[in-house]
Amino acid sequence: MRTATALGAGAMVCWGVAYVPSAWLVETWPPLVAAGARLGLGGLLLLGLLAVLHRPLRPGVGVGTVGWLAFTQSVLFYGATFWGIAHAGAGLAAVLANTDALFVAVLAAAVLGERLWPVQWAGLLVGLAGAAVVVWEGPLWPPALSGTALVVVGGAVAWSVGTVVVARGVRAEGDPLALAGWQMLAGGVVLCLAGLAWEGPPDAAGARELGLVVALAVVGSAAPFALFYLALTRAPAAEVSAWFFLVPVIGVLSAWPLLGEEPTLQLLAGMVGVCAGLWMVMGIRHGRPGRALVDSTAPP
């Protein structure tokens, strides 16, 4: 059990620390191209790892399912997250992108009929209130919302819709690691092509930028996916997923000294709300969350 905890927490740490090098990369690379390069290479590395381990490379689901997940969980989610990093900072993106599990919980209860415990409903209110604090901009009335923050939240909603629509089929037939590799690879290609057409080529492509892409592909994508699913083989999914709240905390706190993004009181308050909500929804002490919710815990 301790090994599973270490593996699960390690995956969350990897996802959390990836926000800083992502911010460094978008200094010279357009956000969509940066997101696509990270995902595409990450998918290739994950599939390569499976091949070396003689694990199946077939995702276990149809091309349509792979395409749907690539569109919602790779193109829309990562495109929005990197857009947020480029235009509002890594800290804000880390908090809002990781609200995806909250939206999955709402949709799983409404669409799939999955049961949520009362404390999980309370966690939804706390977490969404925290997100609202971050998104809110300007006076109390009339309401003014940050457009960039809404883009990031929209990406989190896209992730949740992608999860819920195919949840039953994926959990019954899919090979999670192979599916993750193919959807990242497909989504990465689409993001790169869209970014090059819309935003133009990167300003620089030297050793620094290529090193950041490789680091993000390994530390931010391939390694945490492998650690997360290895942890799932050793412990119940709810226990592994309970560490999900670490991702925004690490993202915000690492962006402070490394990027000079001193968190505002508003961002800290929102982070506390989102993290508390995630712990209440995903936590291990209040019963196990629904399967669609567990399936969603593959953050940026």
Residue 14 pLDDT > 80, yes or no?
yes
pLDDT (tens digit, 9 = 90+) per residue, 22-54? Answer: 999 999 999 999 999 999 999 999 999 999 999
Mean pLDDT, all residues of the chain: 88
Q: What is the 3-state secondary structure (H, E, C) of the chain?
A: CHHHHHHHHHHHHHHHHCHHHHHHHCCCCCHHHHHHHHHHHHHHHHHHHHHHCCCCCCCCCCHHHHHHHHHHHHHHHHHHHHHHHHHHCHHHHHHHHCCHHHHHHHHHHHHCCCCCCHHHHHHHHHHHHHHHHHHECCCCCCCCECHHHHHHHHHHHHHHHHHHHCHHHHHHHCCHHHHHHHHHHHHHHHHHHHHHHHCCCCCCCCHHHHHHHHHHHHHHHHHHHHHHHHHHCCCCHHHHHHHHHHHHHHHHHHHHHHHCCCCCHHHHHHHHHHHHHHHHHHCHHHCCCCHHHHHCCCCC
Q: Average pLDDT, stretch 11-28?
A: 95
Q: Which residues, in sequence order, are bridge partners of residue 145?
A: 136
Q: Which residue has the higher pLDDT, 114 or 299?
A: 114
Residue 288 pLDDT > 70, yes or no?
no
Weakest-pLDDT range from 191-195, 207-211, 238-242, 296-300: 296-300
Q: Has this prediction a pTM greater than 0.85?
A: yes
What are the tokens at 280?
């209440």
Weakest-pLDDT range from 118-122, 172-176, 188-192: 172-176
Which amino acid is residue 107, in one-letter code?
A: L
Whole-number pLDDT of residue 145: 84
Banded pLDDT at 294 (limits 50, 70, 90): very low
Q: Average pLDDT, stretch 54-62?
A: 88
Banded pLDDT at 72 (limits 50, 70, 90): very high
Whole-number pLDDT of residue 47: 95
Distances (CA, A) of 90 to 23, 70, 174: 6, 23, 32
Residue 90 pLDDT > 50, yes or no?
yes
Angle at 15 between CA 12 and CA 18, to 5 degrees: 145
Buried-state track 260-287, b at ≥16 Cβ within 10 A, e below 16: ebebeeebeebbbbbbbbbbbbbbbebe
Residue 135 pLDDT > 90, yes or no?
yes
pLDDT (tens digit, 9 = 90+) per residue, 116-134? Answer: 889 999 999 999 999 999 9
For residue 270, the number of C-alpha atoms closer than 13 Å in the C-beta half-sphere is 25
pLDDT (tens digit, 9 = 90+) per residue, 251-265? Answer: 999 999 999 999 999
Q: Which residues, in sequence order, are bridge partners of residue 136?
A: 145
Closest CA to 98 of 262, 291, 281: 281
